[in-house]
Amino acid sequence: MTVAFDRDRVTDSAALLREERARLAPAGRPGRGWEPAHREVAELCATPPTDIAGVLTRLTIAQKIFDDLPPKAANRVAAFNSLYFTITDRVAKLLTSEDVKDPAFLELLDVEFAKRYFDALRRWGVDDDATPDAWEVLFRRSRSLKLSRLTASMLGVNAHINHDLALALVATWERTGAPADEVIHPDYLLINDIFFEEIPALRRRYSTAWQLRIDHLVGDLDDWSQRVLVSATRAHAWDQAQRLWQLRGDSDDLARAELLMDRVSALLGEALIGADGIVNRIGALLRAARNSLRRAWSALTGR
């Protein structure tokens, strides 16, 4: 497969995406770092994992760190980390399944995938401007109670799938050779099934009371729509990885393509936050209206 690559167009698109994101994102440079756990996060990310057991160990340590960061037991990175552990734990169990044709590929992909997350944590902790924009969207709001835990988790999933996954696939193929779709792609698709099974419960775990009411009203519709979304985004990541694989011989073009991918993911994240704000404001208005009606009724009836 050959890839037509328009350098100027990609560069211009990346610049336009940053401008558009600036209209949605908070003004000013975000304060980076993980204080008061700067040293703990640095130690966690100092050595990359080499197997899926190491990924799970690091995610467990990360959970303890972020659960203790302010707001205690409500840090928004902690919400995503918990979701990530759940999915990765299921992947670890899947590796011994007879359904998996190439468990070595699937484990290596999981490790390369996790490296991107831990590297983003490390970069943010040392005030590195090279922290991917896709992760910055979540990290800069790690202490924001205005952002629901559900949307925080979605921001992490967005950064990890729409940005990191294609890079992890390329890194995996660099070690295993060019992708042979008929062998490894079915294994790749097995992860979709894990998402399908786990996401409904995870979504409800992180939902506010108002979000749970909406969830109840729409029934299975949101579960179905999220299955479609997972399938589409992971399929897109596979396609993106194949395009990046073709560009790997030109470091400049590869860097341009990766930057564009990062900017797209970041803009999607900001859009998610905008939608979250609208839902939360509607919920707050309805709760205020309900409470006002209750007070009026109580005044009228004396109850």
In-domain check, residue 16: no
How far apart CA 121 and CA 131 sit, in angstroms, is: 8
Domain contains 5: no
Q: Structure pTM?
A: 0.84
**Average pLDDT of the chain to the nearest whole number:** 84
Domain range for 91: 33-301
Does any domain span residue 240? yes
Residue 137 lies in a domain: yes
DSSP string, 209-275: HHHHHHHHHHTTHHHHHHHHHHHHHHHHHHHHHHHHHHHTT-HHHHHHHHHHHHHHHHHHHHHHHHH
Residues of the chain with pLDDT below 50 are 218, 221, 224, 277-293, 296-297, 299
pLDDT on residue 288:
44
- Looking up tokens 């600036």 gives 22
pLDDT at 25: 77
The domain tally of the chain equals 1
232 belongs to a structural domain: yes
Geometric angle at alpha carbon 217, from 215 and 221, rounded to 5° = 65
* pLDDT of amino acid 64: 97
Q: Look at residue 7 and tell me if it is in a domain.
A: no
Residue 25 lies in a domain: no
Any domain includes 27: no
Give the tens place of pLDDT for each residue, 157-192: 999 999 999 999 999 999 998 777 677 899 999 999
Question: For residue 94, how many other CB atoms are within 10 A of its CB?
Answer: 20
The 3-state DSSP class for residue 35 equals: coil
pLDDT recorded at residue 28 = 67
Q: Is the peptide bond before 48 cis (omega within 30 degrees of 0)?
A: no
DSSP-derived letter for residue 160 is: I
